[in-house]
Amino acid sequence: MTSPTTPRFLSRENLSRDVRTAVVALLVSVLAMASPSVAAKIKNADKVDGKDAVGAAASVKQRKGKLVATNRKGYLPDNIIRSARNADRLDGLDSAALVTRTAARGEVLRGEWAAWGGGSAGYVEDTVSFGKTLPVRVPSTRITVLDEGAPFTANCPGPGQVVPRAWLCVYTNTQGGVTGLNGYNASDGSNHTSTIGFGVYGDCISASCYQYGSWAVRAGSAADAPPRPAPRAASNPR
């Protein structure tokens, strides 16, 4: 019978088992000691799917080909995309309904006109749309009509140009068989423009007559073009 105090002698089997146990213990110890640095590297990874990351304040050049983080408020830079795709509608409205249709004070609108006709003692005529609504109509005293070859003026220095606010310049580029050119309000027949356009006409003096040219109007306000004074009452001859 073997005594409990009898020492155990080393054998190849016992030595191999002890070595394996020591190696496992060493590996566990190394991993335990290294875990904080491993976690730090995972938290601050240098790349995500092979791409670097930059902050929201990075320039366009700096963030090229990189991931961009939001700022402290959770927003990306305003210029993160070059342009947004055009939406056909906004809150159910067509884009045409969102265009400003009233001209701003001082805004210049331009266009062309052409009038053709025939027959002596007749006339040629065209109706022009401004494309926008003027704040106030242009009175007849602030309409300059220039025939072909007529000298330009300080208010109408050349085609496409108009200097004062609430003023309309009508330029004739070419004309034939027509005398004179007049502007009028196509809505009521007065000599003013309307707020949306005007009409032009000339007297035809031959079998074939024509006029065409350009126009420019600068939008004004009531202060720029005061209303036409009311006509004075006729005096009693008696």
pLDDT digits (tens, 9 = 90+) for 35-69: 555 555 555 566 777 778 888 788 888 887 888 88
Residue 161 has a pLDDT of 97
- The rounded distance, in Å, linking the Cα atoms of 166 and 146 is 17
Domain residue limits, the chain: 108-218
Mean pLDDT of 146-174: 95
Model confidence band, residue 215 (pLDDT cutoffs 50, 70, 90): very high
pLDDT of residue 14 exceeding 70, the answer is no
Residue 235 has a pLDDT of 46
HEC states along 74-106? CCCCCCCCCCCCCCCEECCEEHHHHCCCECCCC
Three-state secondary-structure class, residue 159 = coil
- Residue with the bigger pLDDT between 122 and 2: it is 122
| Element of type H or E holding 53 | strand 53-54
pTM above 0.75, yes or no: no
Residue 65 has a pLDDT of 80
- The rounded distance, in Å, linking the Cα atoms of 216 and 145 is 11
Instruction: Tell which residue, 180, 160, 163, 184, has the closest CA to residue 171.
Output: 160
Residue 133 has a pLDDT of 95
Question: Percentage of the chain with pLDDT > 90?
Answer: 30
How many CB atoms are located within 10 Å of the residue 190 CB? Answer: 14
Residue 81 has a pLDDT of 77
pLDDT of residue 15 exceeding 80, the answer is no
Angle at 211 between CA 182 and CA 202, to 5 degrees: 30
Mean pLDDT of 21-30: 61
Question: Percentage of the chain with pLDDT > 70?
Answer: 67
Residue 64 has a pLDDT of 78
